[in-house]
Amino acid sequence: MECPHLSSSVCIAPDSAKFPNGSPSSWCCSVCRSNKSPWVCLTCSSVHCGRYVNGHAKKHYEDAQVPLTNHKKTEKQDKAQHTVCMDCSSYSTYCYRCDDFVVNDTKLGLVQKLREHFQNLENSAFTADRHRKRKVLENSSLNSKLLKVNGSTTAICATGLRNLGNTCFMNAILQSLSNIEQFCCYFKELPAVELRNGKTAGRRTYHTRSQGDDNVSLVEEFRKTLCALWQGSQTAFSPESLFYVVWKIMPNFRGYQQQDAHEFMRYLLDHLHLELQGGFNGVSRSTILQENSSMSASNKCCIHGAWTVVTAVFGGILQNEVNCLICGTESRKFDPFLDLSLDIPSQFRNKRSKNQENGPVCSLRDCLRSFTDLEELDETELYMCHKCKKKQKSTKKFWIQKLPKVLCLHLKRFHWTAYLRNKVDTYVEFPLRGLDMKCYLLEPENSGPESCLYDLAAVVVHHGSGVGSGHYTAFAAHEGRWFHFNDSTVTLTEEETVVKAKAYILFYVERQAKTGADKL
């Protein structure tokens, strides 16, 4: 939006000596010293944390609006409002009085000059850091792939994703999908397509709600983002081009408010699937997949009448079995799925931690059993029996007719009460290896001993109390090591830390060879 407050709020020079040392993305809040989501005030150059950390940037603005009671304001003090700040990671500009992101600039172009100055500071710090890391690596063993900095172990090859304004929900999903090899490799091997040309070619853009462009491709921007991860060429990548495409084709995710990571994942996979069905550069991408795949036609899961890498990797089939309790008529229906949403059984909902002594620990098996157990439908879900010719009481049961290559399990942690959507904060125990799905199959006797075993590839975790607030991070396994992805920060972690996480979304990959791991 066009902000009218820039002239009175942008008062610092691009070469101001008041800025902290180091890269802008790692600057610390002057109040709580947190380096998560730093924002710099463009009036006084003070740095504070964003509203979804401790909210000191917003408080700085609010405190500046309180009238001075003991001292008379000078004309300069009255003019400077401290209303405009800049994200030190994405360089997006925000006005608190307008309550929106800003696209215009001052007459002297100070906002753009500050962006360029911060980018130069970031690049200089990154170059110095990379040189220091290279020097340390040269003195370390040849097999060492990790670097210890300030007491925390960080993977050099791993790349974080910058938070563009409460986009942790997107970052956690992207990092999880980037570590599912058979899915990620397909996109990275697609040919590059340059959609932007002419005056917009190569120009960095700062997108807003009102910006428009019909020439967009979700597949192409998704491919570029995946290619940028795990290259080791930068510590953090800004997925702003992908986020702009998300705004363009998924209206539900426009704006900078917190979103549900599971809902975003479903929208993302559905739109990737739809776009992949069409031809691109004269070649159908689904045709390329079928030519390069060894999967038989009988194992294909089709959604909307087509088969793409999305359904080839995540697609499974459920059998929905309904029985009329009056006449015994049985109805069977086969439904394709990309993920399974599992309720946390009510008897475990007060169990918030693994070590809590109040009853047994809820396990993933309990959630799967609750999903597949025989259930009597209540009065609001009466079944229309074709034999009785009216709605009758009935029972329902799910069977898995076909398991996917990657099993995505969503734990339903958010539920509606009368007015609010509350969070179920129950700890759910889950295995890192050997999740056995055989007992949930419709015809388990037709499955081999290893074909139903799954190993964990990634976990998405929601921190906080509500779906519209809090923070998302992800754990993912890469080349035998586990990493924690927290926006632009990526750290090596231990398996013991992963299994203690309160999982929201779990990604399990079908085991290809027997490793002797314990079953669930």
**Which of the residues are catalytic?**
168, 471
217 SS3 class: coil
Strands 362-363 and 428-429, bridge-based pairing: parallel
Torsional class of 165: left (φ above 0), alpha (ψ -120 to 50), beta (otherwise): left
Q: How far apart are CA 403 and CA 236, in angstroms?
A: 35
Q: Which of 311, 310, 177, 317 is nearest to 239 (CA)?
A: 177
Sequence-ordered list of residues with C-beta below 8 angstroms from that of 30, at least 6 positions apart, any chain? 46, 47, 48, 56
Q: What are phi and psi of 509, to 5 degrees?
A: -105, 135
- Angle between helices 218-228 and 168-178 in degrees, nearest 10: 70
Residue pair 111/91 in contact by the 8 Å Cβ criterion: no
Structure tokens at 231: 């290259």
User: Which conformational region is residue 102 in: left (phi greater than 0), alpha (psi within -120 to 50 degrees), or beta?
Assistant: beta
Distance in angstroms between the alpha carbons of the first and the last residue of the chain: 53
Residue 456's closest CA among 480, 486, 477? 477
Cβ–Cβ < 8 Å for 444, 455 = no
Round to whole Å and give the CA distance between 4 and 289: 51
User: Residue 334 in contact with residue 296, Cβ under 8 Å?
Assistant: no
3-state secondary structure of 342: strand
335, 267, 271: which is closest to 301 by C-alpha?
A: 335
How many CB atoms are located within 10 Å of the residue 359 CB? 10
What is the rounded distance in angstroms from the CA atom of residue 510 to the CA atom of residue 214? 38
Q: Are 451 and 404 in contact (CB under 8 A)?
A: no
* In contact, 30 and 129? CB cutoff 8 Å: no
Cα–Cα dist 195/200, whole Å: 10
**475 by DSSP, 3-state: which?**
strand
**Is-contact 139 147, C-beta < 8 A?**
no
C-alpha 496/C-alpha 515 separation (Å) is 20
* Residue that has been written with the tokens 């929201």 in this structure: 504
Q: Which amino acid is at 193?
A: V
